[in-house]
Structure 1
Amino acid sequence: MNILENTSMLETTLNNIEPLDEASIEAARHRLDRQAKPQGSLGKMEDICAQLAGIYRSKFFDTGKKVVIAFGADHGVYEEGVAPDPQEITKLQFPNFANGTCGVGTIAKFVGADVVAVDVGINTDEKMEGVLDYKIRKCTSNMAKGPAMTREEAVRCLEIGIEMSETYIQKGYTVVGIGEMGICNTTPSTAIISVIGGCDPKEITGIGAGLKKERLKHKVDVIRSAIELNKPNPKDGIDILAKVGGFEIGAMAGVILGCSANKTPVVIDGFISYAAALLAYTINPTSRDYMIGSHLSAEPGTQKALEIIKLSPVLNMDMRLGEGSGAALAFNIIEACNFTYKNMVTYDEIDMLGR
């Protein structure tokens, strides 16, 4: 862990991230093993319950109040032609996170969760209704021509995420998901995963939101040249974020770190959030223990990211929307796990074996 200047919030957060409570995990495993079923027969449901017990440091816990914290930002690398859609879509779509009419908004309504929309770098001066304004600046710099942001801005991203996580945890939310919006943000995300995974971008670059296959080589070349130009340190998550990242990706990483420090589970969404998870993991590996993977994204870099973090998502729905949609969908799975864990009878409670 680096000693950072002028980063007291970040340093304090990192110092407060502790391993899961093994005694609570053991107590949960004992209850799961004594329930009226073959041991281990509920698979990942049991793993999630044990993990939650370790996170909350309690044999029983409440997963009822859920929120997706989503961040919006634009990217200077867009000018390299790495995305098929107009950049303006970011500012047009992001208010729909707040009013509940986009993908994550509608799924969140169904599962009884809230969505918070936070602008950390959308390329507009317009105020967006319902969107919290934490704009660092309008759009990152073009990483194909130099660093995407300064190191100070990278730290600011992380601290905004930490602040958002702490705000909503203090409001009583017990499960936090992360989401994002930013045209062409698969490009910096792929760069982040390439750097941390030590692989050539060609191995993991996908079409994102519909890039034509004949443009895929160009996208690969842009990512590769940005990495070669900026030379991010693969062991320094803040340096990677500054050199080839995005404001919304850094803010999501900050939420992960903030949730970890505040002993709250954080549900990881799809490909963009995997990049954020890798940054958080690189900055503080213990943060991985607080992550729950929601779904297996259809983007090709998914497997590389999940292998590094050692996350096993609970859903495989061929989804690649982003926004936090997979995290919201997984909330019901998490609640089902907890409900079953609390309410299934144990052998100690009934004479199941006729003794």
Structure 2
Amino acid sequence: MTLEQTLKQIAPLDSEAMARAKYRWDSLSKPLHGLGDLEDLLIRIAGIRGTARMNLRRKCVVVMCSDNGVVEEGISQTGQEVTAIITESLSAGTSTVCHMARAAGADVIPVDIGVSREVKGDRILRRKIAYGTKNLYKEPAMTREQAVRAIEVGIETAYWCKQQGYDIVATGEMGIGNTTTTAAVVAALLHAPAELVTGRGSGLTTAGLEKKIRVVTEALEKWQPDQHDPVDILSKVGGFDLCGLTGMFLGGAACGLPMLIDGVISGAAALCAVRMCETVREYLIPSHHTAEPAGVLIEQALDVHPLIDAHMALGEGTGAVCLFGPLDMAASLYYNGNTFDDSNIEAYVPLV
């Protein structure tokens, strides 16, 4: 499905399904809204799925993997060869998120959307746009056509997940240098100074951070991305992984598949998706607060309130996977809990 077609498919959440889900929560023999945000999230998922009998049994994390040419500017502690190594370990089931996902009962789906070399692994979805982006410090990261195609890869992946029978999807990424591209994208979207949105990523000295800020600042000055055009921003200073994640959020909203936001990179993509279609905001399910400085600004811009605050900054979708457990526990009560009638207890009533 094309980007244009997808945007036309996105509709508001199913209010009837949400009302039924809220009625179910309120009928259970517990204090009203006793599980707080967890109740609200399941109500929202009912609205996304279009039914109060939504299923969360089949779970996966989709990890968009791509390289960024800006790494040659020395803005990362490691070289871009690490992207390919981790992509292959995602397929082999040995990367960090793989161990966490197994504990959560979720599958891991790596997507090669722009790794700088060919990668080996039977589980990798091969959707390579190019062998990494250009160096955004020297030239625009990609063409507008490449950005649109990468967004459409994300859209197609969301639909693929739905067709495979997944009920809920965590979003993740792997790409050395992508905290730099994310800082540039967020700075452009929010018209914020680079020093306010740029962090140390996987680990930089103070001198390294200062260089990273300078690279972001000068790239934005050179290419002047249009604040009101997310595709222009992504093409000039973004990455293929960011584009793919943007498409995942758009595709999830279009096909009724819940997508969990991970950290700052996933959050930046969600913000791009909302700027393309405001209705996507209703579909957003945040997982955790991120340690990157742009994270708080993204949460404010999206008006989301993540449940988990564990000072995580790993990527790969690890924070989003952590939300599967609490959602499963809440869903177990939602489906199996006794009602007030079952327990012969007088129902609670709202007092305000």
Instruction: Calculate the TM-score normalised by the size of structure 1.
Output: 0.94
- Residue 126 of structure 1 and its aligned partner are, at CA, apart by 5.0
The alignment covers a number of residue pairs equal to 347
Q: Which of 81, 103, 110 is the aligned partner of 1:110?
A: 103
Q: Which of 232, 235, 239 is the aligned partner of 1:239?
A: 232
Note the residue ranges of structure 1 that are not aligned, 5 or more in a row: 1-7
Q: Which of 341, 346, 351 is the aligned partner of 1:353?
A: 346
Moved more, 337-346 or 291-300: 337-346
- Residue 121 of structure 1 and its aligned partner are, at CA, apart by 1.0
In structure 2, what is the equivalent of residue 344 of structure 1? 337
Moved more, 8-17 or 90-99: 8-17
In structure 2, what is the equivalent of residue 218 of structure 1? 211
1:1-355 matches, cutoff 5 A: 9-128=2-121, 130-353=123-346
8 Å contact kept, 2:158–2:257: no
8 Å contact kept, 2:71–2:79: no
Q: Secondary structure at the match of 1:190?
A: helix
Instruction: Write the distance in 2 (CA, Å) between the matches of 1:318 and 1:18.
Output: 34
The superposition leaves residues 43-79 of structure 1 with CA deviations (integer Å, 9 ceiling, x where unpaired) of: 1111111101111111221000011111111111111
Instruction: Write the distance in 1 (CA, Å) between the matches of 2:239 and 2:346.
Output: 58
The superposition leaves residues 131-184 of structure 1 with CA deviations (integer Å, 9 ceiling, x where unpaired) of: 222111111011112211101000011111111111121111010111111101
Q: Secondary structure at the match of 2:308?
A: coil
Instruction: Write the distance in 1 (CA, Å) between the matches of 2:14 and 2:342.
Output: 26
Moved more, 8-17 or 151-160: 8-17
Moved more, 332-341 or 238-247: 332-341
8 Å contact kept, 2:91–2:121: no
Q: Secondary structure at the match of 2:310?
A: coil
- Residue 127 of structure 1 and its aligned partner are, at CA, apart by 4.2
Which amino acid is 2:332 matched to?
Answer: F
Moved more, 8-17 or 298-307: 8-17
In structure 2, what is the equivalent of residue 3 of structure 1? none
Moved more, 72-81 or 23-32: 23-32
Following TM superposition, where does structure 1 have runs of at least 4 consecutive aligned residues deviating by more than 3 angstroms? 125-130
In structure 2, what is the equivalent of residue 4 of structure 1? none
Moved more, 171-180 or 117-126: 117-126
In structure 1, what is the equivalent of residue 350 of structure 2? none
Q: Secondary structure at the match of 1:37?
A: coil
What percentage of aligned pairs have identical amino acids?
A: 38
Q: 1:125 to 1:34 in 2, by over 3 A?
A: closer
8 Å contact kept, 1:100–1:109: no
Q: Secondary structure at the match of 1:144?
A: coil
Instruction: Write the distance in 2 (CA, Å) between the matches of 1:353 and 1:181.
Output: 52
8 Å contact kept, 1:95–1:129: no
The superposition leaves residues 186-218 of structure 1 with CA deviations (integer Å, 9 ceiling, x where unpaired) of: 001011111112211111211000111222111
8 Å contact kept, 1:264–1:290: no
Which amino acid is 1:351 matched to?
Answer: N
- Residue 185 of structure 1 and its aligned partner are, at CA, apart by 0.5
CA RMSD of superposed structures (Å): 1.4
Q: 1:130 to 1:42 in 2, by over 3 A?
A: closer
